[in-house]
Copies of this chain bind each other. A is one copy, B any other.
Amino acid sequence: MKRCFSALLLGLLLLRSNMILAGDLDSWNKGPNRQAILDYVKKVTVKGSPSFIPIEDRIAVFDNDGTLWTEKPIPIQARFAVDRVKALAPKHPEWKTQQPFQAVLQNDASYFNRMTETESVKLLAATHLGMTEDEFVTIVGDWFKTARDPHSGELLVHRVYQPLLELLSFLRGHDFKTYIVTGGGTEFVRAVAESAYGIPPEQVIGSSIIMKWEIRDGKSVFLRELKIAEPLNIDAGKPVNIQRIIGRAPVIAVGNSDGDLQMLQYASTNSYPSLNLLVHHDDAAREAAYDEGAEKILKEAKEKKWRVISMKNDFSRIYPGAIRPGG
């Protein structure tokens, strides 16, 4: 009896933590986009269907920033870099007068847009490199425990889109293998991908550094050094890395910005029927409304009749636990 109660409690906790009911798209409003997803999945997974896709070829790729979690007001990994600079600043008094650190310490958000590539690399090196992989994962994990969205006060790790969590779960329930294919850092995203999305490390493909391996005191360590792996996982780098790492073309691709255009084009050329979804940020009240950086992909989505998902109209809620007024 006690065990039953524990199981029930655990079930409720799990339910509360991600609000997913297997197989449901509860936070999607009924309409042509939700229906298109249901129709597509039915069409390609029902045995005997002329559009049937064998399980091993059911590859679904998801961008992360702005597709699975919010990228506003600044991308979550950039926020990590900012917080890290602030945490390390006492040990680096010289940063007070050195860019880009000075701008970060003075909360000059506009500086991010005019940062040179050299400055970006300096910021990356100071906040993401010069440590072992285990140390980095611990730092990132600890940071996520307390890092909060400045506006809502919610934990950043909860700024994931509930309808996309449901879509991931729905697809996995139909034997799709769900991958994150992100311009963000592979190791940064892996640090939370399992708990936030139920996606294991081997299904996270991101921008990478080439680490150095060695044994220290009988333990394997990977040293994070400034050696960026080519290609960066944006634009045409996404298909290239998908091919190299997965070796199969995706049948479902979900993105939100021009950096995802080639990934969606890649899926759309699959010889199997494909489903391309573009998350459109048009909900200023509940999230953010912006087309900047998505002009090309929005244009192509219209031309190619990819599904443009309106966050305002297609999502009954945006974040886990956040119920839309009246919804």
CB proximity of A97 to chain B, nearest CB, Å: 36
Binds B, one of A65-73, A105-113, A158-166, A237-245: A237-245
Find out whether the CB atom of B201 lies under 8 angstroms from the CB atom of A246: yes
Q: Across the interface, which residues of B come within 8 angstroms of A249, CB to CB?
A: 220
Mostly helix, strand, loop or mixed at chain A's interface?
mixed
Q: Across the interface, which residues of B come within 8 angstroms of A200, CB to CB?
A: 56, 247
Tell me the complex Cα distance, A211–B213, Å.
25
Q: Across the interface, which residues of B come within 8 angstroms of A202, CB to CB?
A: 245-248
Find out whether the CB atom of A220 lies under 8 angstroms from the CB atom of B269: yes
CB proximity of A233 to chain B, nearest CB, Å: 12
Interface membership of A102, Cβ < 8 A: no
Most chain B beta-carbon contacts within 10 A, residue among A202, A210, A227, A266: A202
CB proximity of A163 to chain B, nearest CB, Å: 26
Find out whether the CB atom of B247 lies under 8 angstroms from the CB atom of A215: no
CB proximity of A41 to chain B, nearest CB, Å: 21
Q: Across the interface, which residues of B come within 8 angstroms of A99, CB to CB?
A: none
Find out whether the CB atom of A190 lies under 8 angstroms from the CB atom of B247: yes
Find out whether the CB atom of B190 lies under 8 angstroms from the CB atom of A213: no
Tell me the complex Cα distance, A231–B247, Å.
19
The residue of chain B having its C-beta at the shortest distance from the C-beta of A137 within the complex is: B247
Interface membership of A212, Cβ < 8 A: yes
Most chain B beta-carbon contacts within 10 A, residue among A218, A231, A270: A231
CB proximity of A116 to chain B, nearest CB, Å: 25
Interface membership of A154, Cβ < 8 A: no
Digitize A28-57: 1 where CB-to-B-CB distance is under 8 Å, 0 elsewhere. 000000000000000000000000000010
Tell me the complex Cα distance, A94–B265, Å.
41
Known: A202-B246, A247-B204, A266-B220. A212 touches B240 (CB 8 A): yes
Q: Which 7 pairs between the two chains have the least Cβ-Cβ distance?
A: A201-B247, A213-B239, A220-B269, A202-B246, A213-B236, A213-B240, A220-B266
A and B contact pairs by CB, cutoff 8 A, 28 listed: A56-B200, A186-B244, A186-B247, A201-B246, A202-B245, A202-B246, A202-B247, A202-B248, A208-B244, A210-B240, A210-B244, A211-B240, A211-B243, A212-B240, A213-B236, A213-B239, A213-B262, A215-B269, A219-B269, A220-B249, A220-B269, A220-B270, A222-B240, A227-B230, A229-B229, A229-B230, A229-B244, A245-B245
